[in-house]
Amino acid sequence: MSNYSLFVLLLFSGQLMFAQAQTYVTANGKTEFFSETPVENIHAVNKTSLVALNTATGDIAARIKIRDFVFPNKLMQEHFNENYMESERLPLATFSGKITNPPDYTKNGTFPVTASGKITIHGVTKDRELKGKLTVQDGKISLQTEFDVALSDHNIEVPTLVFVKIAQVIRVKADYMLLPKN
């Protein structure tokens, strides 16, 4: 069983009686982050984020492999994985929650949404409320959100030597196109 299939199965175990059209998924969601300081800007993109949404229940989950973030500089990527995120030991970031103000998924349009749940980064889980935009267009659902992550909230330590080069609060953007699961 692929990681993707296992992810969707675990997300919706206990809810497998729902029609397939109520489950929307992607295995190539785009998650990026940006660190801005007066000394240096750091940007990385991950285009392999797994996301699943059950429109009947509002349950939503995302699973992001830390090692899949790509940087413009290989040394930066190496430091990110080995020194800060410890991605060998802590390989995933996840979000699991529920859309608290679901739109009518049968009607095309763009709607503001809020998802409340738990986000886990660097092995530390926090309750979060993420605001975003959900667009329904001809049987496809797209989700966009932007939010901040404080490094201290997830025990991500930055050595004093490079403290001025890395923001203490990182801006995260997500853009996911979800299709009905067949």
Q: Are 60 and 99 in contact (CB under 8 A)?
A: yes
Q: Are 83 and 44 in contact (CB under 8 A)?
A: no
Residue ranges of domains in the chain? 3-10+22-180
Q: State both tokens at 148.
A: 């901040």
Residue type, 27: A
pLDDT in tens, 129-179: 999 999 999 989 999 999 999 999 999 988 766 667 788 999 999 999 999
Identify which of 6, 33, 30, 8 has the alpha carbon closest to the alpha carbon of residue 154: 33
pLDDT in tens, 68-92: 999 999 998 998 999 899 999 999 9
HEC readout, 122-138: CCEEEEEEEEEEEEEEC
Q: Where are the beta strands (DSSP E) in the chain?
A: 23-36, 41-54, 59-65, 92-99, 109-121, 124-137, 140-150, 169-180
Band the pLDDT of 20: cuts 50, 70, 90: very low
Identify which of 63, 164, 169 has the alpha carbon closest to the alpha carbon of residue 118: 63
Q: How many CB atoms lie within 10 A of CB 159?
A: 10
Identify which of 20, 74, 70 has the alpha carbon closest to the alpha carbon of residue 48: 70
Band the pLDDT of 2: cuts 50, 70, 90: low
Superfamily of domain covering 3-10+22-180: Lipid/polyisoprenoid-binding, YceI-like (2.40.128.110)
The yes-or-no verdict on residue 45 having pLDDT over 50 is: yes
